[in-house]
Amino acid sequence: ESFAKELPALIFLDIEMGEEVGLSIVLGFESRGGADIPIVMGTSHNEREFVLRAVNAGADDFVIKPFQALTIKERLEKHLKT
């Protein structure tokens, strides 16, 4: 419901809520018309299979944990400029 009122410019999602839960959130958001809003995921998963599943679900970028504040800043700015 809150997405219907005001859409964010970007979503930064920590996938560590549980792999399937995080992917479900991304899929649910995409199905509600959020396809033009970039989704950046923070995750400790670095396996290619996980990254492909998340990209297929709608994630636009990843920041691998542990991450530095500058890395997050650069990734978020990259997607906010496009």
Q: In this predicted structure, which of 9-13, 26-30, 37-41, 56-60 has the lowest mean pLDDT?
A: 26-30
Q: What's the rounded mean pLDDT across residues 67-81?
A: 90
- Cα→Cα distances 54→5, 47, 64, Å: 26, 11, 13
Give me the pLDDT at residue 74, please.
93
What mean pLDDT value characterizes the chain?
Answer: 77
Q: Name 55's Cβ contacts closer than 8 Å, sequence gap at least 6.
A: none
d(CA 53, CA 6): 28
Tokens of 20: 């399937």
Q: Name 69's Cβ contacts closer than 8 Å, sequence gap at least 6.
A: none
Span 32-68, pLDDT tens digits: 565 688 888 887 777 777 778 778 888 888 888 888 8
Helix (H) or strand (E) holding 51: helix 48-57
- What is the model's pTM? 0.73
